[in-house]
Amino acid sequence: MNAKGKILVVDDERGMREGCRRILVPEGYAVDMAADGEEAIRRLREDGYDMMLLDLKMPGIGGMDVIEPARKADPDLSIIVMTGYATLESAVEATKRGIYDYIAKPFAPDELLPVVTRGMETRRLMVESRRLREERDRNLLELAAEKSRIHTVVNCMADGALVINREGQLVLYNPAAAHLLRLSASPPLEAPIAEALPCPALVGWLEESQGETEFRRVSRELSVGEGPEATVLMVNIAPVRDEAGLFLGSVAILRDITRLKEIDRMKSQFVSMVSHELRSPLAAVEGYLDVLLSGLIAHDPERARRMMHRARERTDSLLHLVDDLLQVSRMESGRIRRNLAPVALGDLAKEAVLFFEEEAQKKEVRLTAEIPESLPAVLADKDEITRLLTNLISNAIKYNRPGGSVTARLSQEASFLRLDMEDTGLGIAEEDLPRLFTEFHRIKRPETLQVTGTGLGLSIVKRIVDAHHGRLEVRSRLNEGSVFSVFLPL
C-alpha cells in the first residue's frame, strides 16, 4: 500500500475521475476509480481504502446509498463528497451518515489537496485513537492479574495515562502524564483527585465521568501553562466497567496536540499572509493597467513608463513570494538535490553586496563588505549559499533606517568559516527572538508596517544552515541593530 494512503474516486464522469487521479497520484497517493455506486461498494468490500471521494448524483445507486456500506466496510473511512448540486438537506443527511467534508464542483488542485490532506490526518488520528482505546480497555481488564506488566506498558507510553477508582482516588499514572501536566512532585496514590492533581478543569471532567451510568467517552482540550510556553492536551476520559456492568472507575489518556494546533494556526496565518501579499500588488498592477488602457496618458510617455516600471516592481515582489513558497515546499518535502562542492564564500559575498548596492542607495543605507583575501573554501551548495546571503542582506536593508549601515564580514574561527551580517537597523525585541526563524513569523511594530515580506526569509536561512551542518546565532538590541552570525564547517 502507498505510504501516503489509498483513495477511491467514485464519479460517473470519467473526466472528473481522471482529473482527481492526476491531481493525487503526483502527491504520492494510490488512486482507484469507480464509475458508479455498485462498483464502489464492490471495491470497498474487496480492497481497503483510507479515503473515498464520492459524487452524490450518479445513475443507479447514488452517493447517499454508498455511504452506509462504506461505513460497514471501514468505520474510520474518510469520506469527502464532491458535488455541484449540494443543498442544505443533502448536507445535513450526508453529515448524519458520517461524511468528513464537502467540496463543490468544479474545483482546482489547490482546493482539493488541502481537504484530502486534512481528511487523511483525521483518519490517521481516528485509527490511532481506536487503537489506543482498544489497548486501554484490554490493559484495564488484565489489571488485577498482571499489574506489573501493565505498569511497564503504561510507563512506556508516549501519551499520558491516569486511572481513577470508583471512590474518586488516583490509583495509577505514568511518567508521561506527570510530564504533560507539569507536576513538580509525584502525585500521591489513593488520594482524592482534587488533592493529587492541581488542575481544576481535569479534576472536574474526571468527577463528571464518575457519575456516568453508561459507557461514554469524552474528549476535551486542556491548556497547560501560559503564554508561548503553554501546551495543549487532548484529554480522552471514559468510565470503566467489568463484565457484569459494575462501575470500576475512570481512565484518562492525555495527548500533546500543541504541534497540531500550531500547524492549524500557521495554516490560517499562511492564508491571511498570502491573501494580503498577493492582493496588494495585484490591485496596484490592475490600477496601472486600467490607467494605461483608458488612454488618459497616451500623450505622456514618461508617465506611462513610470507606471509600467511600478507594475514591474509589483510583479517582481509576487515572483519573490512564489519563489520563497516553492523553496520552503521543496525543503519540507526533501525534493532539493544539493550539489556540494568547494565554494569561495568571499566571492559570493562580494557578488551579493554588489547586487544590492542600488537597493541600499535607494534606502540611504551604506552597504560594505569586510572580506580577507585568503579564506579557506567551504563544502556547500553554491545556489543555496547565494540565497542565504541574499536573504540576510535584503533583510538588513529593509529593516534599516536612512543613514544606517550594513556590513558583511567574513573570518575564520577554529574549524568554521564565520559570516557576520551586521546592521544598524530597528533591532529585535528579546521576546521576538525565540520565534525569529519560524515560518511566516513577522515582527509587528509601527516601524515595520510598510516593510513587505512573507516571513519566510529567515526560516529559509535557518534550513540552509542546518542542511550544511552549521549553526546560526543572533545578537540584537532594540533600536540599535542586529548581528546575524553564520558558522559553516570548513
136 lies in some domain: no
Place of cell 556547500: 380
- Judge if 274 and 349 occupy the same domain: no
- 162 and 301: one domain? no
213 and 150 share one domain: yes
Domain assignment of residue 417, yes or no? yes
Q: Are residues 388 and 416 in the same domain?
A: yes
Tens of pLDDT along 66-90? 888 888 888 888 888 887 765 656 6
Render pLDDT for 328-365 as a digit per residue (tens, 0 to 9). Answer: 666 665 666 778 889 999 899 999 999 889 888 988 99
- Is position 224 within any domain? yes
User: What's the whole-number mean pLDDT along residues 178-195?
Assistant: 83
Q: Does 135 fall in a domain?
A: no
pTM of the model: 0.43
220 shares a domain with 149: yes
Task: Give tens-digit pLDDT for 396-432.
Answer: 888 888 899 999 999 998 889 999 999 998 888 887 7
Tell me the percentage of the chain whose pLDDT exceeds 90: 13
pLDDT of 214: 65
CATH number at residue 148: 3.30.450.20
Does one domain contain both 483 and 346? yes
The least confident of 12-16, 208-212, 392-396, 410-414 is 208-212
CA distance 161 to 175: 9
C-alpha cell at 445: 511594530
Per-residue model confidence (pLDDT) at position 1: 45
Give the range among 41-50, 193-202, 441-450 with minimum mean pLDDT: 441-450
Classify 285 as helix, strand or coil. helix
Domain-located, residue 134:
no
Quick one: 93 and 172 in the same domain?
no
Please state, in angstroms and rounded to a whole number, the distance separating the CA atoms of residues 8 and 15.
15
Q: Which residue, 234, 256, 278, sits at the end of a domain? A: 256
Confidence band of 123 (pLDDT split at 50, 70, 90): confident
pLDDT at 147: 65
CATH at residue 349: 3.30.565.10
Q: Can you give the pLDDT at residue 231? A: 87
Residue at which a domain ends, from 333, 365, 381: 333
329 domain residue, yes or no: yes
CA distance 453 to 273: 9
Residue 120 inside a domain? The answer is yes
Query: What is the pLDDT confidence band of residue 488, given thresholds at 50, 70 and 90?
Result: very high
In this model, does residue 480 exceed pLDDT 80?
Answer: yes
Residues 324 and 353 in one domain: no
24 φ, ψ to 5°? -85, -35
Give the span between the Cα atoms of 287 and 356, in whole angstroms: 29
Separation of alpha carbons 149 and 123, rounded Å: 30
CATH at residue 106: 3.40.50.2300
pLDDT single digits (tens) 214-265: 667 788 888 888 777 788 888 898 888 877 778 888 888 899 888 888 777 7
User: Is 85 part of a structural domain of the chain?
Assistant: yes
pLDDT at 448 over 60: no
Asked if residue 405 and residue 460 are part of one domain, the reply reads yes
**183 in the same domain as 167:** yes
Residues 40 and 67 in one domain: yes
| Better-scored residue on pLDDT, 424 or 154 | 424
Least confident range of 59-73, 327-341, 380-394, 438-452: 438-452
Task: Tell me: pLDDT of 443 over 80.
Answer: no
* 351 and 485 co-located in one domain: yes
Range with top average pLDDT, 114-128, 269-283, 286-300 = 114-128
| Final residue before a domain boundary, out of 305, 333, 361 | 333
Nearest to 77 by CA among 182, 17, 136, 7: 7
Is residue 146 pLDDT above 80, yes or no?
A: no
The least confident of 304-308, 320-324, 341-345 is 320-324
Summarize the confidence of residues 279-293 as an average pLDDT: 77
Question: Does residue 196 have a pLDDT over 50?
Answer: yes
Task: State the total domains in the chain.
Answer: 4
Residue 325 clears pLDDT 80, i.e. is over it: no
- Looking at residue 366, its pLDDT comes to 93
**CA end-to-end span of the chain:** 43
pLDDT score at 408: 92
Q: Supply the range of the domain harboring residue 425.
A: 340-489
